[in-house]
Amino acid sequence: MMKSNRDATIHWIQVGEKQQPMRLIKLLEKSTILQGFKGVGEFDSNQVPPLDAEEPPNCWSLAVVTLASIAVALPNTNTCLIKELICTLNEGLPYVKLIENDLDREGNLINIRQAADIVWLGVDLYQNWLDVNLHKLSLEEKNPKETLERLADAAKIRYEEYKKKYVNVCLKEIPSKWPVKVLVANSYVQDKS
């Protein structure tokens, strides 16, 4: 990134020096103490069967916001911790997007990054994933396993609905060009395991 766009790199370094993302820094420091982000590193598991023969490429921002939405839905989670997670991601996602934009020069992940933006807006503003109220779900369920199963079932249903609705686009296009809602539902089912 520094080689290709030195002026932008200098600008972002200066912005970072003036406005350090303190919540993100604290999270990263805690994660180092707690053995790192093992779950995030293992999310791309071959043990999770794909919903379709073709699988869209991974995009870090979509994986992160999907995992965050799962955290919001988990029962018996401290509300302050959820708010802190949301604030931390609001600080960190611009950095993730900056890196993704730089790495995706051909624009192959545009739809997937848009899917991440849509998921994050719903989680951040309304604690919703598509039309699932995550906060309400967290109050209804008794344990995390039930919550994950309900979320996975909802995602699978939505994936199948959207795939039927956009069948022509999904058949003609490569998975990274699928409609945003198909990508969102697909990522949820894949990350829940």
- pLDDT band with cut points at 50, 70 and 90 for residue 125: very high
- Confirm whether 141 is domain-assigned: yes
Question: Does the residue 27 lie in any domain?
Answer: no
Residue 114 corresponds to which tokens in the numbers above?
């848009």
pLDDT at residue 116, rounded to an integer: 93
CB-CB contact of 144 with 160 (8 Å): no
Max intra-chain CA distance, the chain: 52
Q: Is residue 169 part of a domain?
A: yes
Mean of pLDDT over the chain: 79
Closest CA to 161 of 189, 134, 185: 185
Q: Which residue has better confidence, 33 or 188? A: 188
pLDDT over 80 (residue 154): yes
pLDDT > 90 in the chain, percent: 17
Residue 50 lies in a domain: no
Burial 29-62 (b: 16+ CB within 10 A, else e): eeeeeeeeeeeeeebeeeeeeebeeeebeebbbb
Q: Which residues pair with 129 in a beta bridge?
A: 132
Structural domain containing residue 165: 63-193
Mean pLDDT of 172-184: 87
Domain-located, residue 2: no
Judge whether 29 lies within some domain. Answer: no
Q: Is the pLDDT of residue 114 over 60?
A: yes
- Say how many domains are in the chain: 1
pLDDT bin (cut points 50, 70, 90) of residue 193 is very low
Tokens of 155: 């995602």
pTM above 0.85, yes or no: no
Q: Is residue 100 part of a domain?
A: yes
Asked if residue 152 lies in contact with residue 84, where contact means CB atoms within 8 angstroms, the answer is: no
